[in-house]
Amino acid sequence: MTTADHNTRRARDLLAMMERIRAFEEQACLAAERDKLVLGAIHPSIGQEAVAAGVMCNFNRDDILLSTHRGHGHTLAKGADPLAMMRELLGREGGCCGGKGGSMHIADFGVGMLGANGVVGANITIAAGAAHGLKLQGSDRIVVDIFGDGAINRGPFLEGVNWASVFDLPILFVCEDNQYSATTRTSSVTGGPGAAARAESLGLRATTVDGNDAEAVADVTAEITARIRAGGGPEMLHAITYRRTGHTSFDPAGYRPEGESEHEAKTNDPIARQRAVLAGMGLSADELDAVHTAAQSEMVQVLADAAATPFPADDMALQDVQDIGSPAQEAY
Amino acid sequence: MVKMTFVEASREALREMMQADETVWCVGEDLGRGSVFGQYLGLQDEFGPDRVADTPISEAAIMGAAFGAAMVGTRPVVEMRFSDFALCATDELVNQIAKARFMFGGQSRAPMVIRKPIGLWRSSAAQHSQSLESWYVHIPGLVVVCPATPQDNYSMMKAAIRCNDPVVYLEHKNIWGMEGEVDTSLEVELGKAAVRRQGADVTLVSWSDTANLCVQAAKTLAGQGVDAEVIDLRSLWPWDKDAVIASVRKTGRLVVAHESVAVGGFGAEVVATVVEQAGNALRGPVRRLGAPRSLVAYAPNLEDKMRVTEQMIVTAAKEAMGK
C-alpha cells in the first residue's frame, strides 16, 4: 500500500467513525426526546467527534480508556458494540453494564474501556492509577484519559496529573475542550492560560490541536503515543472543539450567544471538514454520501433493536454489589 | 503462638501477603519511613519503592490511583494516615470504588484494603480523632472491619487483602502498642464476631478499642455478681447478627457501646435489629453508649468528655439488669 493509499484509508476511517458517532447520538437524542425511551440524562458530543475518532485510532483494543459523562464517541471509537451501548442508554438487558449504569457509566472492559464517569474530573486519578498498575506489572499497554475543560478546575486534575508526572506513567491526558462547563463559558471561570500550561507546569509535554480537524488530531496523537509507548512518560493533548448541543439533550442552551452554535455548525463541523479532505483526495460525493448512509442505517437499526430488548430482571437490583455482605443474601 | 503488638501484627500479615502475592502493593505517604505509626517499617527495604510506594500528599489521588491499579489487576493496600484525612478522598471511595462493580454491571472488581487509623488518641483534637465507621457501613459496596486485638489485626489483615471487595480497614490509634499472643495459622472470616467472654446475664456488644473496654468492664462486673458476655463484632459490614441475637436470646439483656458519636451510630443498627428480630427475648431496658454529638477537643479534660469509659459500661450493664 502506498503512503497515499494509507492516508486515504485512514481519512476514510476517520470519517466513517465520526459519521457513526454522530448517527448514534442523533438516534440517542431521538430516543430521549421523541420516543421517551432514554429516561435519564444524556450528554451528546455532537460537533466533537473528531477528538474521539482522531485520538482513539492510535490506541489498541487492549489499551485502556477512561472517559467522561460525554463519552459515547470515545467508547464507540474504542471499539464498543453500539447495540450494547444503546441498550445501556435505554436501561435494557444486554446493555454494556446490564442496564445498571446508563449513559453516564458506560464501560466495556472487553475493549479496555474502564468507564465513563458521572463526576467531572474523577476519572483523572483513576486513569493515572490504571497506568500505574500497568507499569507495576511491566505491561506495554498504555492509557488514554479524556476529560473536559471543566475538569481542569477540579482538584483531581492537579493530583492525578502530578501523580502521572511523579511516577512517570504511560498515559495520555486529553482535555477535550468544548468551551463550556455545564452551562457556563469555561474561560469565565478559569484562571491563567488553561489546560496545556497547567500540565506543563507539572512537568508534562503538552500539545494543543484544532479538535475539529480529525486529520490533525490523528497525526499529533500518533506522534504522542509513539513517545509514550517508547517510555517517554505522560503527555497532555489539549484539543479545542465546540459543544453544539446544550449540556444535556434537554438543555436548550439559552445562555449561549445567539447564532454561536449555528455558526460553528456551518463553518467548523468536523464531519464536513473531513469530507472536504477526502474530496481533495479524489473521493466522489456519492462515495462520501455512502459512508453517511451506512452509519445512519446502522444506528437506526441499533435503536430499533435496543428498544425491542426487555428491561433487566428485577433481582439484578441486588446483584454485583459485593461478595461479602452481598444484599442478595443479606437481609436489611 | 507468637507475641506481637497490634501494629506488628498487621505489618507481619502484610509482609507475608506481599511475599505470597506479587500483585499486592502498598501506596501512601511516608511509607518508606514506616508511615505515622510504624505500620510499614522495613517493608520498603524488603520489597522496594515500587511495591511500597511513597506518594505526594494527595489523598484523592492515592485512593483514585489505587482504584485504577486495582481495576487492571493489582491488589493495593492504601494508607490514609488518619481516617480524618480520608475524607479528602470521599468521592473516590464512595462514588467510584464502592459503586464501580455495580454500575458497570459486574465487569470490574476493586480488591483493595483501605487503612484508616481511627479514634481518640492523646489530644489529637477534632481533625485527628474521629471514628466514622458508621458512615462506611452506610455505603453499599464496602466491607467495613474494626479489629481490636493483635490476633484479629493479623488474621483480618490477611483476610482483607484476600477479599475481592474494597475493605475499609479501621485500626484504633490507641492500641498500636497492645501486646497479645498471635496464632499465625488462625484464619478469621470477615463478618464473624468474636465472643471475647462468655456470660449468662447481659450481652455487651462492641468493636474496636471499646470492645477491649467491655472485656475489662466484664471482669469488674464479675466481681459484682454480674456475668457479662462480650461480643466483639470485629466486622461492621457484614456484621454477625446471628452471634448477637443468639447471645441476647440467652441473656435477655443488651448493652451496645462504641466510641463514635451515639446519634446515627452503628449501635443504633444493632439495637434496632435485635428489637426487630429478637425483641421478645429482651427482659430489661436496652442501653446504648457512644460519644455525645459534640466535637473532640484538645484539652484532656474536654477530650475525656467524649470517652465511653469502663465505668460507664459497668453502670449501663447494671441498668440493663435492672440493678
- What was the pLDDT predicted at A6? 84
Distance (Å, whole) CA A32 – CA B203: 56
Nearest to B112 by CA among B155, B82, B141, B153: B141
Nearest chain A Cα distance for residue B197, angstroms = 26
Q: How confident is the model at residue B173 (pLDDT cuts 50, 70, 90)?
A: very high
Q: Could you tell me whether strands B24-28 and B52-54 are parallel, antiparallel, or unpaired per DSSP bridges?
A: parallel
- Which of B23, B59, B97, B102 to mutate against chain A (most A CBs within 10 Å)? B102
> In this complex, which of A107, A115, A136 lies closest to B74 when CB atoms are compared?
A136
Position of cell 457479662?
B228
CATH number at A275 reads 3.40.50.970
Q: Which residues of A159-185 are buried (b: 16+ CB within 10 A; e: fewer)?
A: bbbbbbbbbebbbbbbbbbbbbbeeee
Q: Look at residue A332 and tell me if it is in a domain.
A: no
State how far the Cα of A170 lies from the Cα of B85, in Å rounded to an integer. Answer: 28
Residue found under cell 485500626: B171
Q: How far apart are CA B106 and CA A238, in angstroms?
A: 33
Q: Where are the domains of chain B?
A: 2-182, 194-320
Q: Which domain holds residue A67?
A: 3-318
At the top level of CATH, which class does the domain B194-320 belong to?
alpha beta
**Per-residue pLDDT band at B33 (split at 50, 70, 90):** very high
Mean pLDDT over residues B109-116, rounded? 97
For residue B108, the distance in angstroms to the closest alpha carbon of chain A comes to 8
Can you list the residues of chain A whose pLDDT is less than 70? Answer: 1, 330-332
SS3 A220: helix
Enclosing H/E stretch for A200: helix A195-201
Domain assignment present for residue A330? The answer is: no
The model's pLDDT over B46-103, given as tens digits with 9 standing for 90+, comes to 999 999 999 999 999 999 999 999 999 999 999 999 999 999 999 999 999 999 999 9
Residues 246-275 of B with CB under 8 A from A: none
Our count of domains for chain A comes to 1
* A326 lies in some domain: no
Nearest chain A residue (CA) to B52: A136
| Angle, vertex CA A86, rays to CA A81 and CA A92, nearest 5 | 110
Closest-CA residue to A208 (of A234, A243, A173): A173
Cell of A67: 472517559
**The predicted structure's pLDDT at residue A1:** 64
Interchain contact, A321 vs B106, CB within 8 Å:
no
A251 domain-assigned = yes
Interface test with A, best of B22, B57, B71, B165 (most A CBs within 10 A): B71
pLDDT tens per residue, range B61-73: 999 999 999 999 9
What pLDDT does residue B21 have? 98
Per the CB < 8 Å rule, is B68 touching A122? no
A325 occurs within a structural domain: no
ipTM value, please give it. 0.96
Cβ contacts of A96 on chain B, cutoff 8 Å: 104-105
Instruction: Give the model confidence (pLDDT) of A12-41 as tens digits.
Output: 999 999 999 999 999 999 999 999 999 999
How much is the pTM? 0.97
Q: Which of A26, A19, A23, A70 is nearest to A241 (CA)?
A: A70
Q: A129 and B107 in contact by Cβ < 8 A?
A: no
* Inter-chain CB proximity A133 and B69 less than 8 Å: yes
| Residue A4: per-residue pLDDT | 84
Rounded to the nearest 5°, which phi and psi values hold at B217?
-60, -35
Superfamily of domain B2-182 in CATH is: Thiamin diphosphate (ThDP)-binding fold, Pyr/PP domains (3.40.50.970)
Contact B141 A320 (CB under 8 A): no
B114 sits in which H/E element: strand B113-115
Q: Is the pLDDT of residue B255 over 70?
A: yes
Who among B23, B56, B73 is closest to A162 (CB)? Answer: B56
Please state, in angstroms and as integers, the Cα–Cα distance from residue A96 to each residue in A28, B72, B204, B293, following that order. 15, 18, 48, 45
Number of A/B CB contacts below 8 angstroms equals 157
Judge whether A269 lies within some domain.
Answer: yes
Q: For residues A71 and B239, what is the distance between their CA atoms, to the nearest angstrom?
A: 39
Secondary structure class of A208 (helix, strand, coil): strand
Task: Note whether residue A328 is domain-resident.
Answer: no
Strand, coil or helix: what is B121?
Answer: coil
Q: Closest to B69 (Cβ–Cβ): which among A115, A136, A322?
A: A136
Selected residue of A87, A105, A159 to mutate for chain B interface (largest B Cβ count, 10 A): A159
Is B138 marked active-site? no
| Residue A142: closest CA among B76, B72, B100 | B72
In a domain, A139, yes or no: yes
Chain B residues whose CB is inside 8 A of the A92 CB are: none
**Angle (deg, nearest 10), helices A49-56 and A214-229:** 40
List of residues 6+ apart from A201 with CB closer than 8 A: none
